[in-house]
Structure 1
């Protein structure tokens, strides 16, 4: 069973990489000199850890915590595999697409979720394996947040600790932050002021509140989404603030995490 799950995960990760290459085909024209130029200009913001045959061959700001963005989906996948291996969930379990759509916010994921739906041409349901592919192959944030809710946020965070990710922020759902500004104000400047002053505990509480709205109150969620767009509550200053609120960790921890046995 573990071998089967391992092969599924490898396949999902490979597909994820392939699709990302296709989606960003234009970037494939860039050379290693382009990469080096970027690193040179952004030394403080770049973090690299490369391990080959158990030897660390390159480190740069390896222990500097940086926003993970979609890299954090590897942690969700890790717990997903553990849950399947233990029999807590089954790959073929059916999931209503409407339950996943609760966590979707239009035009905020580069078309990833819509592309997942288009390619698969589902009717009304998908399997849990399909949802995991939506997260890893297509990078759908809605699929990710559905799995976070299905697996349990607290369990995932506990699993991270057991896996030795000691320099890892607690995982938070991905989509609630997009509605944060609309949740606290009708005006962009006022929203930015209110968002800038929150503590980490206040932030976690706010994200949980919005996450519960998205899950249980579709009309309220729709109203927040419409207000966000109508009032233009995602200006560049707010987007920059949201980036800094993303879950953070280090490349050192993730490089060693990827070497963990199955």
Structure 2
């Protein structure tokens, strides 16, 4: 899980050390077009599209569309955002140590424990801000995958693959039959058609929902790097161009109805809880994601002068060292895009 950004506006982003680090990211993007894509729009004008139509796995950035469907159903009065749900219902889908501590950190942030209740709105907020996979799985079940997938067509996303269950998908790769070795299981998973993979994930989801003991079948010893890579490669996929457009739609304030927009603001704009951001921005929303091989990010901003910016940048098939380098510079890279016009021009010029 990416440690989500709370922009610190007083950072000296133009210092030599930072400039060198940011140049390292730009150089990596330029030299690795198969591993990187970025799309940047200012005031509805796209100024940078570097491999923006390249299909890439989204990791948790995909949760944005689940948030949109949540807002749709709240506005349609199908859901009450203040309806309470026992934390125990969410915990059916929680696999310890598989989400970077996201689920536990979310519960701590709202001072809830296993015997408590939480509202649907809090669940959606935990899915986006903390990237809880358990919350995501619960909302996928509540909202319905068919309804979530309908948004792909409604939002006119040209290459987005269908949604399936997050936690159940992680379980999919580690449930190796006892009678076969890992090499054989790896080959079977790679050869498995995606439709069958999604169906098996749905079966796992139903088992998680009905049988509290089933989740105990997950074991890290059964999830080698090779199996993690298969899971990562088969995550829901789309393009940086599609996710920049989603950010642009939310940021426009006129694409979605007032009711939907209000819920999206409460869910997506978690960075606006920071007083420093409130002093500079009217709106700031963000959702990213990661695996051992992926880093994705999509965000939007409107400042106090009504300047609008939306951006998505995706990385995939990263080596361990490449991922560490990008993670080290991740927050500064995003903050520089948002706050530094000179850096944006440098980025655009380098990647044209």
- Cα deviation, 1:176-225, whole Å, max 9, x if unaligned, reads 12212332324433321221110011111111111111111111222x12
Report matched runs for 1:42-57 at 5 Å.
Answer: 42-57=32-47
RMSD across aligned positions (CA): 1.9
Q: List alignment gaps of at least 5 residues for structure 2.
A: 7-12, 250-254, 257-352
CA shift, 1:41, in A, is: 4.2
- Cα deviation, 1:83-133, whole Å, max 9, x if unaligned, reads 111111111100111110111111000011111112222151100111011
CA shift, 1:259, in A, is: 2.5
Whether 2:80 is the aligned partner of 1:90: answer: yes
Whether 2:147 is the aligned partner of 1:155: answer: yes
Report matched runs for 1:192-203 at 5 Å.
Answer: 192-203=186-197
CA distance in 2, matches of 1:180, 1:191: 11
CA distance in 2, matches of 1:59, 1:96: 44
CA distance in 1, matches of 2:126, 2:149: 21
- Cα deviation, 1:45-74, whole Å, max 9, x if unaligned, reads 111111112211001111111000111011
Q: Secondary structure of the residue that 2:118 maps to in structure 1? A: strand
Provide the TM-score with structure 1 as the length reference: 0.84
Whether 2:20 is the aligned partner of 1:20: answer: no
The answer on whether the counterparts of 1:182 and 1:191 sit within 8 Å (CA) in structure 2 is no
CA shift, 1:38, in A, is: 2.5
Q: Secondary structure of the residue that 1:171 maps to in structure 2? A: coil
Please name the residue that 2:135 is paired with.
Answer: 143
Provide the TM-score with structure 2 as the length reference: 0.63
Please name the residue that 1:249 is paired with.
Answer: 238
The structure where strand makes up a greater share of residues is 2
CA shift, 1:42, in A, is: 2.5
Please name the residue that 1:235 is paired with.
Answer: 224
CA distance in 1, matches of 2:177, 2:210: 21
Please name the residue that 2:65 is paired with.
Answer: 75
The answer on whether the counterparts of 2:40 and 2:49 sit within 8 Å (CA) in structure 1 is yes
Q: Which runs of 4+ in 1 moved over 4 A?
A: none
The answer on whether the counterparts of 2:86 and 2:118 sit within 8 Å (CA) in structure 1 is yes
The structure where helix makes up a greater share of residues is 1
CA shift, 1:141, in A, is: 0.8
Q: Secondary structure of the residue that 1:104 maps to in structure 2? A: coil
Q: Select between 35-44 and 97-106 the one with higher mean Cα deviation.
A: 35-44
Going from structure 1 to structure 2, the CA distance change for 1:181 and 1:54 (only over 3 Å counts) comes to: closer
Whether 2:55 is the aligned partner of 1:65: answer: yes
Please name the residue that 2:170 is paired with.
Answer: 178
Query: Which is bigger in relative contact order (C-alpha 8 A, separation at least 6)?
Result: 2
Please name the residue that 2:109 is paired with.
Answer: 119
CA distance in 2, matches of 1:40, 1:160: 30
